[in-house]
């Protein structure tokens, strides 16, 4: 059985195929404590950021195609999927995550169906979904651009995408401070809760290899999305983006 301690984090992050294995093993390990860690590590700000995503989706939905099917990618324990379902009564939501243990830990909701799945190879048919959300999941994909292309494929024209993600701050000094803090705090949490510092030290290293908010919005535009709104928090360290697939 592959364990997180048996994997070299730096080497796995540099290799897309090995990164997928590392991320799956990592989330299998942290799944039982994931929600509590997210709240503690964000000092309670996480719920407000998710609320901002949902508020902007609800406002944009007034001018979008009728929403019947939703998809929450990298759903984890289903926190954002359940919030999306509560914001849109009657809409069926599929929650998809690569980690079987995350799916096993997901809290039930009558509108949400969970499954283990690969965000870069979704089983949904072309144009079959009217709203997609992804929280803290893009940077964990072995190829996040392929993940965005899959999201674009399954979305119907005019439909909505909501993203909540850690992004690389543009200001060099703040980037150094921000990532340094996340690495130190994450390593401490990792040793405290799991006896393995890199399990949360991963967060800073994954952000360092990811896009800035401006780079991400430009990439979305190149793939056929129009940005409806975008917000930046923690000096560019967290981005809230809602976009619409061009007709």
Per-residue pLDDT band at 168 (split at 50, 70, 90): very high
**pLDDT tens digits for 170-214?**
999 999 999 999 999 989 987 887 777 787 888 999 999 999 999
Q: What percent of the chain has pLDDT over 90?
A: 72
H helices of 136-230, in order, are 144-154, 172-194, 198-208, 213-223
In a domain, 199, yes or no: no
In a domain, 128, yes or no: yes
Strands 238-245 and 225-233: antiparallel
pLDDT score of 1: 61
Interior/surface letters 171-194, b for 16+ CB within 10 angstroms, e for the rest: eeeebeebbeebbebbbebbeebb
Domain containing 238 equals 4-168+212-245
Lowest mean pLDDT among 31-40, 56-65, 166-175, 176-185: 31-40
Query: Which two structure tokens, joined as six digits, stand for 66?
Result: 């009728």
**pLDDT tens digits for 232-241?**
999 999 999 9
The yes-or-no verdict on residue 64 having pLDDT over 90 is no
In a domain, 179, yes or no: no
Domain of 158, CATH number, reads: 3.40.50.150
Which whole number is the average pLDDT over 140-166? Answer: 97
In a domain, 175, yes or no: no
Number of separate domains in the chain = 1
In a domain, 201, yes or no: no
pTM of the model: 0.95
């Amino acid at each position: 059985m592959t364990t997180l301690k048996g994997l070299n984090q730096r080497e796995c992050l540099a290799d897309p195929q090995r990164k997928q294995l590392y991320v799956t093993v990592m989330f299998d390990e942290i799944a039982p404590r994931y929600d509590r860690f997210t709240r503690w590590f964000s000092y309670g700000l996480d719920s407000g950021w998710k609320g901002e995503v949902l508020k902007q989706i609800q406002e944009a939905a007034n001018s979008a195609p009728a929403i019947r099917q939703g998809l929450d990618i990298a759903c984890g324990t289903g926190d954002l999927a359940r919030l999306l379902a509560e914001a849109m009564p009657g809409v069926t939501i599929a929650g998809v995550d690569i980690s079987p243990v995350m799916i096993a830990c997901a809290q039930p909701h009558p509108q949400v169906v969970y499954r283990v799945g690969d965000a870069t190879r979704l089983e949904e048919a072309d144009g079959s979904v009217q709203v997609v959300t992804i929280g803290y999941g893009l940077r964990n994909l072995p190829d996040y651009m392929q993940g965005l292309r899959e999201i674009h494929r399954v979305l119907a024209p005019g439909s909505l995408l909501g993203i909540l993600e850690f992004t690389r701050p543009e200001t060099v000094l703040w980037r150094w401070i921000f990532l340094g803090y996340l690495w130190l705090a994450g390593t401490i949490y990792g040793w405290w809760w799991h006896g393995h510092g890199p399990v949360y030290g991963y967060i800073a290293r994954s952000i360092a290899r990811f896009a800035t908010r401006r780079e991400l919005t430009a990439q979305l535009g190149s793939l056929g999305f129009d940005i409806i709104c975008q917000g930046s928090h923690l000096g560019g360290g967290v981005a809230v983006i809602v976009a619409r697939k061009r007709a």
